[in-house]
């Protein structure tokens, strides 16, 4: 099967998973904008050469340094939950290989992405440059637990590693009316959606069970 055909099959599987998890999410499908981005961004450009033939499988894959590129369905779901619009400024905690960053860039976001592993930050930057998404993606090495204060506030924040609790700095850096999507938990994890109200209060919702690598750093 060609890569293009494999990518189409991957998108179909993502939509099937979305329908299956409607009991958790309350939605039977994903936004058209998210589906279009998943269709256009070539996932095989964000994995090693050895894994290119597996890139369009709807599952996580290793990217080195004990990290993974998330399952396409989870990438799509987390992006959908952000509720972002073209031109929005998004903070990403955990750049990884840059795939999630590219999805957001494809949708017209301005992304500020923090990766704690310097080698991965450099790899992601190279991937984004090679695929034409570097203009809208700002990458730096650092501890994403503390966000990116000088670039805040953000319209949305996405965290791609599991935290034991909500990082206070991220809530502070989120605009009123903004959304934060984060996996929470140590042994058992849940994907959480946080919405910040205009008065600064927050409302959280448990979306569905997930499994992510842990958020690391000095905190």
Cα distances from 197 to residues 76, 82, 207, in angstroms, run 24, 15, 19
Cα distances from 177 to residues 81, 83, 173, in angstroms, run 13, 11, 12
b/e sequence 98-120, b meaning 16+ C-beta within 10 Å: bbbbbbbbbbebbbbbbbbbeeb
Q: Is 70 a catalytic residue?
A: yes
What is d(CA 137, CA 130) in angstroms, rounded to the nearest whole number? 13
- Other residues' Cβ atoms within 10 Å of the Cβ of residue 171: 16
What is d(CA 145, CA 131) in angstroms, rounded to the nearest whole number? 28
Tell which residue, 169, 149, 161, has the closest CA to residue 78: 161
Catalytic residue, chosen from 2, 31, 70, 164, is 70
Instruction: Provide the token pair at 86.
Output: 């073209």
Structure-token match 């890569």, residue found: 3
Active-site residue set: 70
């Amino acid at each position: 099967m060609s890569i293009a055909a494999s990518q189409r099959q991957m998108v179909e599987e993502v939509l099937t998973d979305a329908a299956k998890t409607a009991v958790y999410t309350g939605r039977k499908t994903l936004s058209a904008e998210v589906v279009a981005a998943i269709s256009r961004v070539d996932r095989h450009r964000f994995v090693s050469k050895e894994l290119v033939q597996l890139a369009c499988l709807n599952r996580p894959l290793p990217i080195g340094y004990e990290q993974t590129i998330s399952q396409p369905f989870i990438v799509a779901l987390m992006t959908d939950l952000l509720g972002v619009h073209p031109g929005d400024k998004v903070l990403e905690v955990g750049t990884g290989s840059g795939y999630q960053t590219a999805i957001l860039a494809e949708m017209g976001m301005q992304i500020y992405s923090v990766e704690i592993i310097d080698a991965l930050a450099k790899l992601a930057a190279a991937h984004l440059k090679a695929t034409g998404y570097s203009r809208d993606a700002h990458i730096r090495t650092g501890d994403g637990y503390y966000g990116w204060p000088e670039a805040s506030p953000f319209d949305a924040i996405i965290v791609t590693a599991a935290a034991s609790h909500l990082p206070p700095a991220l809530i502070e850096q989120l605009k009123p009316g903004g959304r934060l999507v984060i996996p929470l938990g140590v042994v058992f994890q849940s994907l959480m959606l946080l919405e910040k109200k205009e008065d600064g209060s927050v409302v959280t919702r448990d979306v569905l069970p997930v499994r992510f690598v842990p958020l690391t750093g000095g905190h």
